Amino acid sequence: MPNPPPIGVILAQIGTPEAPTAKAVRPYLRRFLSDRRIIDYSPLFWQPLLRGIILRVRPRRSARLYSQIWQNGGSPLLLHSLEQRTGLQRLLGSRYQVELGLAYSTPGMEQAVSKLEAAGVTRMIVAPLFPQYSSTTTASVYDAASFAALGRRSASGPVAKRFVPALRFMEAYYNEPGYISAMKEHLLRQLSRLSSAPDYYVLTFHGIPRRYADTGDPYPLQCLETARLLAESMDWEPGRWQAAFQSRFGREEWIGPSTAEVLKGLAGRGIRRPLIFSPGLTTDCLETLHELAVEGREQFAAGGGQAEELVAAPCLNDNGEWLSFLAQLVERHAQGWA
């Protein structure tokens, strides 16, 4: 009998510009900020503001930031995500085919689904690289994967695809022991390389508007639970760590406390050697490599600290314990298929 087709796995990420230039950043931001999962204002209000002001100003600023973290091979997020794909494929073996799918840039979800279908895949697992569920991240990649698998068409248009593959969506893993353990081992390795132990730990997560949480997004509670479990596993005493939320955008209220304000206030509390780490992002990107490692040091210094004393720990990226946990999670979601 012929071997059955592999089970498809789509590692799902938000995306990244193709180059650190305003010309490349602009279409990426247009797609990203036009998704009502991200910005849920009425298009009648939001689109004129986005196209008339934001996309005229923000791409140049973002491009300058991207240029400071860009690597020889390209975008850090893309390079690390491809390493994660390669590592996960190696662990899962030939029974699975792993592809990377980005919601707002290339390689996109359509490309990932097309590659899997070309290999005969009829069953796919969508694995968001976001441990905590949020409508702005997890649901966004669920949408993108669903549209790619179904084939886009209007309600009155012709059928785009005769066969639609079976999809399973990996649920949030913010409190999974394997995920907490992977972060613990990762941080212990980072700490072993330091000449002096940190005297405080900031666990930072990407923020969302307060309104999103108030209307049903469980993200803040899941973030706080991840932080609590990680601090507990690291044996950090109360008063030696805290959770915070970064990357605020716009004028409405966001969940807090703000990472920037926390960093500015550390020195005034007698903290001299803080370490900052993001348990909500598994892949280094602009939000970690610049917002934390560059701007974070500037914010710590603005409050009276020594910028070089702040340690910004990298994301899990292709960490072995993390990828082993992810492989186990994929196999769990493939039960009945494999």
Cα–Cα dist 271/249, whole Å:
28
Same domain for 118 and 21: yes
Question: What's the number of domains the chain is made of?
Answer: 2
| pLDDT recorded at residue 251 | 86
Band of the pLDDT at 249, cuts 50, 70, 90?
Answer: confident
DSSP 8-state class, residue 54: I
Residue 300, Cβ density class (10 Å: 0-12 exposed, 13-18 middle, ≥19 buried)? buried
Cα–Cα dist 191/235, whole Å:
14
Q: What integer is the mean pLDDT of 308-327?
A: 98
pLDDT digits (tens, 9 = 90+) for 52-86: 999 999 999 999 999 999 999 999 999 999 999 99
Q: Which domain holds residue 299?
A: 177-312
Same domain for 63 and 100: yes
Cα–Cα dist 318/83, whole Å:
6
pLDDT digits (tens, 9 = 90+) for 23-40: 999 999 999 999 999 999
**Across the strands, what pairs with 167?**
124
Same domain for 280 and 303: yes
Closest-CA residue to 101 (of 146, 66, 168): 146
Same domain for 253 and 124: no
Q: How far is CA 29 from the centre of its chain?
A: 16
Same domain for 241 and 127: no
pLDDT digits (tens, 9 = 90+) for 167-216: 999 999 999 999 999 999 999 999 999 999 999 999 999 999 999 999 99
**Across the strands, what pairs with 205?**
245
Same domain for 147 and 43: yes
Cα–Cα dist 252/83, whole Å:
37
Measuring CA to CA, how many Å separate 249 from each of 43, 186, 187? 18, 30, 29
CATH code of the domain containing 187:
3.40.50.1400
Q: What integer is the mean pLDDT of 216-236?
A: 98
